[in-house]
Amino acid sequence: MGARTFAEKVLSRASGKDAQAGEIVTAKIDLAMSHENSALVLKAFKEMGAKRIKEPDKLVILFDHRVPASTVKAAESHKVVREFVRQEGIGTFYDLREGVCHEVLPSKGHVLPGMLVVGTDSHTTTHGALGAFATGIGATEMAAIWALGELWLRVPETMRLVMDGGLPPMVSAKDAILHVIGKMGADGADYQCVEFTGDVVERLSIAGRMVLSNMSVEMGAKAGVCFPDAKTEQFLSSRTQIPWHPVHTDDGAKVKVIKHFDLSELSPQVAKPHAVDNVVSVDQVRGMSIDQAFIGSCTNGRLEDLMAAEGVLRGKKASDKVRLIVAPASRDIYLEAIERGIIASLVRSGAIVLNPGCGPCLGAHEGLLAPGERCIATTNRNFRGRMGSPEAEIYLASPATVAASAIKGEIADPREVVP
């Protein structure tokens, strides 16, 4: 066996054969997550005539997209899944109180380096930040995993994105990944396993690395991995007792594309409507009036994001013209932000604080946009109609940029607000 990539190693182990890029393998799944669409999974599972879940201890189910239930239909879906989970006794069920799946699973110790993780959500790539191979799948194929414990996957080629030069003050992981997506394009990493390396990645916290892995799907990646190091070890040490081994790409393994990014002079970045790769420097859009500012989501709803926003807003008020909405990504984050006084400070600045969940990001509920309105958000997609009316506009940015914009009532550079 010659030199192999991270993706080849994980999929070789999971399939029990020498898996090479381009091949289709049938792989055993280590961790399978589904949220509200578990109702769809369940429907397909029953239609398959499956009698029992093959490996219930590998499943995690939670609700985060419409919590607490936004409509009677949503409540019915929750109810159906809840009853099934009770009868079937699946591995872990968090119901609707823990928060967003891509924060809850890593923080509760479900995700380990080298694992093969799938989820019925495109942002499952987030878990790559811990060195897992993690990818999004559909509901019916999740039902097949419930029934059979395995799934076909094409072994992806590897693309390495090297981010060097450090990040200037007030410039974050979000600005870095928006810049990279802007350069690569919305399908620039289609079907690839993206490896994030370089000193920028090394210096980022696990939360920051999650931003990179999370948004790798916005350039089409199948998985987006940051390799384990001392920070990963530290993160996992308080969360799991299960031993794990890091998986790396061998020297000499076939990396199809390598791109270098020098981020030493990067300015805050903004993705303009209606595409995530429509990225400009904040100075090209500053001054545009906004109606709503949202801080949260699986991309940027973590403690360091709330702290970055609070740092900009502290002692200041959001503009009267702006609805500033904040949703911590999980109950644990919410609690810590309360205990540290961050929530109190944000509320004093005029923020409306929501329960942990996905709500506004996908336009499910809790802050939809009217025609003609403009929102700046820390989320991951600015597609037409995503957060409400198709006639509304969504701009994507970092927590600091969104907070600065909320104060000004217009898109603003956080470096102007916090000199």
Residue ranges that bind another protein, judged by CB under 8 A: 24, 37, 39-40, 43-44, 47-50, 65-66, 70-71, 73-74, 77, 119-122, 124, 136-141, 143-144, 147-148, 152, 186-187, 190-191, 220, 222, 275, 362-365, 368, 381, 383-386, 388, 390
Please say which residue, 35 or 209, places its beta carbon nearer to another protein.
35
Report the nearest approach of another protein to the CB of residue 385 (Å): 4
Instruction: Give the Cβ contact number of residue 395 at 10 Å.
Output: 24
Alpha-carbon distance of 38 to 101, in angstroms, equals: 13
Please say which residue, 160 or 222, places its beta carbon nearer to another protein.
222
Q: What residue has token string 């384990």?
A: 228
The DSSP result for 232-248, as a single string, is HHHHHHTT--S------
Please say which residue, 366 or 410, places its beta carbon nearer to another protein.
366
**Any alpha helices (H) in 19-164, and if so which ranges?**
38-47, 72-88, 101-107, 139-148
Report the nearest approach of another protein to the CB of residue 99 (Å): 18
Report the nearest approach of another protein to the CB of residue 391 (Å): 10
Q: Are the C-beta atoms of residues 226 and 113 closer than 8 Å to each other?
A: no
Q: 249: number of CA atoms within 13 Å, CB side?
A: 24
Report the nearest approach of another protein to the CB of residue 132 (Å): 17
Q: Which two tokens mark 253?
A: 């393994």
Report the nearest approach of another protein to the CB of residue 321 (Å): 24
Please say which residue, 146 or 235, places its beta carbon nearer to another protein.
146
By residue count, the chain amounts to 419
Q: What residue has token string 């970045």?
A: 269
Please say which residue, 140 or 281, places its beta carbon nearer to another protein.
140
Residue 39 DSSP class = H
Report the nearest approach of another protein to the CB of residue 214 (Å): 14
Please say which residue, 133 or 235, places its beta carbon nearer to another protein.
133
Please say which residue, 117 or 144, places its beta carbon nearer to another protein.
144
Alpha-carbon distance of 356 to 161, in angstroms, equals: 32
Report the nearest approach of another protein to the CB of residue 69 (Å): 8
For residue 225, report the phi and psi dihedrals to the nearest 5 degrees: -110, 145
Alpha-carbon distance of 95 to 403, in angstroms, equals: 31
